[in-house]
Structure 1
Amino acid sequence: MKLLLTGAVFAGMFAPALADDKPTIEIMSSWTSGGEAAALDIIKTEFEKRGGVWKDSSIAGFGAADAAFQNRIVAGDPPGAKQGVIGLAAADFVGQGLFNPIDDVAAAGKWADALPKSIYDLISYDGKVYLAPTGAHGESWLFYSKEAFARAGIVEEPKTWDEFFAGLDKLKAAGIVPVAWGGQPWQQTKVFNMILLSQVGIDGFLKIYVDKDKSEASIEGIKKTLDIFGKLRGYVDDGAAGRNWNDATAMLITAKAGVQFMGDWAKGEFTVAGKEAGKDYGCMIVPESPGMVYIADSLWFPKTGDAGADKAQKLLAEVVMDPAIQVEFSLKKGSVPMRADVDKSKLDVCAQKGLELMTADNVVPDQAILLTPQQVGLLDDFVDEYWSGGSNDMASAAENFFAIFE
């Protein structure tokens, strides 16, 4: 009896030690839609296979998730990992000394060789790597329901904005909601940028957002963009205000609407619904655009003061950048893998189009990469106010746009 008791006590004392040895991480993300959650589960499953313990703190809506993360940082209780975009927001946290570098993981995985130089530069600060990229998203996509197009008698993808609006008129005449509109500021800003790229080109887009150029050409580009953007008001339904992007995608999946402006993460919702690209739905870059706007997702690794969490962060970084995981994640998320050495044969027709544009460098960065978080907020406010019935004086509106950078 004494031997059994001693063994039980020994086992009871040793079991927690074993549990504590497992790399444990709390991850905070805004990936809660069907496709996003399925993609995140790819990473979670592999992390657990490699001995990690996963604690999920997902919050719907990246605005809400970002706010919660900042509150945790201020409270001195950050999560072990945070899903966020590559850009100035991450750079600000790094500059404050709040993130852990993952140089050893990046060196062992030869990330510098596997990643596009532009991406590697964006995840590195002062010569150290801090972010683990999960995938890139094209944001200039126009998705459409093939069933809705057939019912409206639209047989070809529109090549110009005039052809596009003619198609919307056909959809309306057929009793179909022409545009599944996600009525939230961040979604509207993405549509604005898609149109802007089609009007000013790649060089013009970068002059506006990087150089803050206010030349006559840039001003005219903003005015033309606002004109096209404003015309879309007549093609959305009464329930558009405040609509989540995945709810708008569902309108295409059920053929209640014809088109949706959205990033390629929308493909994840089609995939979950059992719909196939090129068969059930189509994807095209918005009319007259020379390329696409892109954004790159990554995982951030805050300093927690816990050596065990640091170990888990490095394991998670390894998992995220595993070539096989990059592909499987992208298939679920609708993104394009960041590594150049992955097997691309599994990618769908939309991803292949996006990959061609990325490879040819016919891309421009999303405003979240180029602007400060404060400027991003001002841009969202500007676009939202214009969409909600702002001044039709294009010259005045263009002035208000450039005031964002002052």
Structure 2
Amino acid sequence: MNSKKQWALKSGIALALAITGVIAHAEPLQANVIHWWTSGGESAAIRQFADAYNQAGGQWVDNAVAGADQARATAINRIVGGDPPTAAQFNTSKQFHDLIDQGLLNNVDAVATKENWAAIFPQSILDSIKANGHYYAAPVDIHMPAWFFYSKPVFAKAGIAGDPKSFDEFLADLDKLKKAGVIPLALGGQPWQEKITFDAVFADVGGPDLYLKVYRDRDAKAVNSDAFKKVLASYKKLHDYVDQGSPGRNWNDATALVIAGKAGVQIMGDWAKGEFSAAKQTPGKDFGCFPGFGPRSPYLVAGDVFVFPKTDNANAIKAQNLLATIMTSPQAQVAFSAKKGSIPIRPDVDMNQLDICAKEGIAIMKDKSRQLPNPEMLLSPDMQGALTDVITNFWNKNQSVDDAQKAFASALKG
């Protein structure tokens, strides 16, 4: 480690210790952290936070729970049951706002003020983590859930020269992949994956205005429009390009098909890059990535946060503040993002460690006109669940576009 990096690390640790009031040679601040990052790339990423926390005088106690829904349920049950973890993972969304409303979370205002979060983080993230004038979560990444990842050797074999610039070009490329004898579209047939695939199509085919009218405004006229009907029809066309093994498949197993050259392309969040990285594949050489069709495609903003369950224990509060400081620090952000496939939640970082896909994402995020909040930032968990049910039903059953449109409109009414 060169002197500059040593100085940066020591400075970051000193700041963390100053904020939390930790003194040298004190007992390590134990932090029990619930998260759902269990795949190869995810485990490597969360280790970056754990190592940084331990170096800063803490003791990270890892509590990985496979599956996002299961991990959130575990955290909520422990909070309600009086045995709260120090921190728990949620998505950058409204998922944890009920906990805020019930007074079950501590705020991290001291860290947010010291670190000037209000001036650094994107507004859509601030809107998610802040309520009633207080900061209740530490954001740890920005994910874009609608990237397109493809095998460069498979594309070359199929005679596909470059990234598609429209949805119609994408369908034509999928036809070429089918003729080449590979799985055109690697899809994990689970409801959440079918929903993010739909949202990718919605953002690109429907455009930002229609997307926001539906998800943010719940505009009945927009949902019942011919433009939204076209979105649904376009989405269902993709069904012709998935394989029979798709239903129930995990997302990382779908990524593995692309990595192995058995499938052409996968629509997935940029966390999939962690799997490519773990397989020693290089973006631009072994696989390609594009965030949508054309240079002005919308960029869906999503991500993950850690919340801090209510406690009056002084050491636990110090541990929570130390976690919030470490997780959002420039050094840990870059180390984590390089493994996770995400981009940092702050722009003032050294991008040299990040890959070409991440650098493209960071460049796009500078253009606020291309940013679109993911649906979970705009809808309650119950509403998001109801719409996911509509989409997965449409995908898996022989349902007409008209009937799907009516079901979507009904679910959106709540």
TM over 0.5: yes
Structure 1 unmatched ranges of 5 or more: 1-17
1:4 matched residue in structure 2: none
For 1:157, what is the secondary structure of its paired residue?
coil
For 1:135, what is the secondary structure of its paired residue?
strand
Deviations 1:111-131 (A, max 9, x none): 222222332333211111111
How do 1:7-406 and structure 2 match up within 5 A?
A: 21-215=27-221, 219-287=225-293, 290-361=297-368, 362-392=370-400, 394-406=401-413
State the aligned residue count: 388
For 1:339, what is the secondary structure of its paired residue?
coil
Q: 1:292 to 1:286 in 2, by over 3 A?
A: same
Aligned partner of 2:269: which letter? Answer: G
Aligned partner of 1:369: which letter? Answer: M
1: distance between equivalents of 2:94 and 2:28? Answer: 33
Aligned partner of 1:368: which letter? Answer: E
Structure 2 unmatched ranges of 5 or more: 1-23
On the 8 A contact 2:139/2:306 being kept in 1, the answer is yes
2: distance between equivalents of 1:218 and 1:34? Answer: 42
TM-score for the superposition, normalised by structure 1: 0.92
Deviations 1:107-161 (A, max 9, x none): 1222222222332333211111111110101122111000111111111211122
Deviations 1:173-209 (A, max 9, x none): 1111111111110011001011011122112211111
> What root-mean-square deviation, in Å, do the aligned CA atoms of Structure 1 and Structure 2 show?
1.8
For 2:311, what is the secondary structure of its paired residue?
coil
On the 8 A contact 1:36/1:332 being kept in 2, the answer is yes
On the 8 A contact 1:142/1:261 being kept in 2, the answer is yes
2: distance between equivalents of 1:217 and 1:185? Answer: 21
TM-score for the superposition, normalised by structure 2: 0.90
Deviation at 1:295, TM superposition (A): 0.4
Sequence identity (%): 43
1: distance between equivalents of 2:226 and 2:366? Answer: 30
Deviations 1:227-268 (A, max 9, x none): 121111111111111111111111111111000000111111
On the 8 A contact 1:142/1:285 being kept in 2, the answer is yes
2: distance between equivalents of 1:363 and 1:140? Answer: 12
For 1:32, what is the secondary structure of its paired residue?
coil
Q: 1:158 to 1:327 in 2, by over 3 A?
A: same
Aligned partner of 2:372: which letter? Answer: V
2: distance between equivalents of 1:186 and 1:292? Answer: 19
Deviation at 1:305, TM superposition (A): 4.1
